[in-house]
């Protein structure tokens, strides 16, 4: 079993400009790429879990999403970041594309994407972490049994809605990753001390 950091995309990895679907419009948030690289080097696998209601709403196609995702993965790989998988939900009950305008078990706050990722990649959910920018991200984490869930880039209203769901709130992924890595080193040191006793 492996430990994962599950990452929401818009608002965590890249600037949320509403329905980003072209690489030319994709802008990494400050420090996000290096944060992901450090998490990867620390032994976490990185899995992106993103709601993409714009597909159901007809704003862009699944293929356009895939093209952007491929460009993102290639850019990150060149920077030393390995993305193990990207899961997306193309559904929305109020969409305009009939086949996708449905209630589903994958759109966060439902846990479907997290559970599928855990099953397909041998993830230990209890030892894993989710980083999101909305209460729905954290609700999905709790429903799936993810051990730790953090909130980033959130306004006061979002912080209030996520009360009781979050294990910590941070300015961005860079600050959150520093906390994760410091906590991980402290736990590893404590475990080593126990072995030596």
For residue 184, the model assigns a pLDDT of 78
Say what the pLDDT of residue 190 is.
Answer: 46
How many CA atoms does the CB half-sphere of 172 hold within 13 Å? 16
Choosing from 8, 105, 155, 167, the catalytic residue is: 8
Write down the pLDDT at residue 196: 36
Number of neighbouring beta carbons within 10 Å of residue 171: 12
The structural domains of the chain, with segments of one domain joined by +, span 4-196
List strands edge to edge, sheet with 148-152.
Answer: 83-89, 45-51, 4-7, 129-132, 148-152, 169-170
pTM above 0.75, yes or no: yes
The beta-strand segments (E) located in 9-159 are 45-51, 83-89, 129-132, 148-152
The yes-or-no answer on residue 124 being catalytic is no
Q: With 0-12 CB in 10 A as exposed, 13-18 as middle and 19+ as buried, what is 14?
A: middle
* Structural contact between residues 128 and 180, judged by C-beta atoms closer than 8 angstroms: no
Is 105 annotated as catalytic? Answer: no
Phi, psi of 149 (to 5 degrees): -135, 130
Q: How far apart are the first and last CA of the chain?
A: 27
Overall CATH class of domain 4-196: alpha beta
Compute CA distances 93 → 99, 103, 132, whole Å.
10, 5, 22
Beta strands in 2-160 (DSSP E): 4-7, 45-51, 83-89, 129-132, 148-152
197 residues of the chain, pLDDT tens digit each: 999 999 999 999 999 999 999 999 999 999 999 999 999 999 999 999 999 999 999 999 999 999 999 999 999 999 999 999 999 999 999 999 999 999 999 999 999 999 999 999 999 999 999 999 999 999 999 999 999 999 998 777 777 777 789 999 999 999 999 999 998 775 553 443 343 34
């Amino acid at each position: 079993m492996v430990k994962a950091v599950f990452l929401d995309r818009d608002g965590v990895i890249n600037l949320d400009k509403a329905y980003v679907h072209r690489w030319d419009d994709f802008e990494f948030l400050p420090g996000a790429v290096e944060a992901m690289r450090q998490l990867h080097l620390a032994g976490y696998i990185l899995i992106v879990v993103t709601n993409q209601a714009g597909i159901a709403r007809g704003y862009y196609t699944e293929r356009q999403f895939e093209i952007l995702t491929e460009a993102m993965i290639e850019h990150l790989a060149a920077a030393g970041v390995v993305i193990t998988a990207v899961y997306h939900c193309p559904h929305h009950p109020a969409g305009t594309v009939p086949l996708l305008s449905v209630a589903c078990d994958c759109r966060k706050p439902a846990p479907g994407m997290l559970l599928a990722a855990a099953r397909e990649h041998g993830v230990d959910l209890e030892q894993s972490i989710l980083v999101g920018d909305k209460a729905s991200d954290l609700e999905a984490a709790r429903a799936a049994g993810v051990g730790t869930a953090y909130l980033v880039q959130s306004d006061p209203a979002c912080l209030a809605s996520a009360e009781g769901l979050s294990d910590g709130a941070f300015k961005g992924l860079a600050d959150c990753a520093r906390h994760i890595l410091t906590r991980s080193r402290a736990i590893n040191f404590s475990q080593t001390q126990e072995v030596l006793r």
